[in-house]
Structure 1
């Protein structure tokens, strides 16, 4: 693997982790989104990453293969004072686990930081190689 390939691979990782961070932040922002019981609840989004093969001109790295969505059923909560409540006093909330989302947020953040460090180190290596060539 060349040093240039390291930047490409780490760059693809940055892209996947950025999508993961976006999905987690959307999920956390909508954890308390209320809907009437006759509507679907907010659906959590989960990013699916897939490794690039060595075929088709791609050499290593990862890409976002798509997204998987959580349950539209959500969970029913008894809130008779909520203006969106049905006749029985229920509203629909998304079925999102805050603890799981925070764990995913930390993992995605650390992965993003690691890939950014790889790019920084490769850039430093290129700069050093150019300095050697000048002397």
Structure 2
């Protein structure tokens, strides 16, 4: 693996963690939202990732064209039930006086945010270390 490949892998990891942080922010922004039906209530979302390591076969393409890194497979929604609260005075209440809240757990989201932030920082460190290694390698030729 060339040193330039490390930039590709770390860059895809940073992109994935950025998406994860945006998803957490969306979940946190909607944590206190309510709806008039359980189907309309906001559901917590989580990105789905996969590690990708595809190398091109000899003669079919350059080795630098492989797709190594993190691939985003999509965004999944939580299947947990939407909690209901009896609030007959709420304008969003159904005919029985219930509103349905989001199934977002703020504590889980904060843990997820810290984890994504640290993973992003680790990828930045990998890129910085690789850059320094390349610079020192070039300095050897002087």
Which of 91, 111, 117 in structure 2 is aligned with 1:103? 111
Contact 1:34/1:92 (<8 A) preserved: yes
Structure 1 segments, 4+ long, off by >4 Å, are: none
Give the equivalent residue in structure 1 for 2:62.
Answer: none
Please give the root-mean-square deviation of Cα atoms over the aligned residues, in Å.
1.9
- C-alpha contact (below 8 Å) 1:15/1:63 kept by paired residues: no
CA contact (8 A) 2:37 2:99 kept: yes
In the superposition, the TM-score normalised over structure 1's length comes to 0.88
Q: TM-score, normalised by structure 2?
A: 0.84
Instruction: Quote the residue 2:41 is aligned against.
Output: 41
| Structure-2 residue corresponding to 1:2 | 2
Task: Mark the runs of 5 or more structure 2 residues left unpaired by the alignment.
Answer: 57-64
For residue 65 of structure 1, report the CA deviation from its aligned partner. 1.1
Tell me the residue number matched to 2:71.
63
Aligned length: 134
Query: Cα gap change, 1:87/1:58 in structure 2, threshold over 3 Å: closer, same or farther?
Result: same
Question: How far apart are residue 90 of structure 1 and its match?
Answer: 0.8
SS in 2 for 1:11: helix
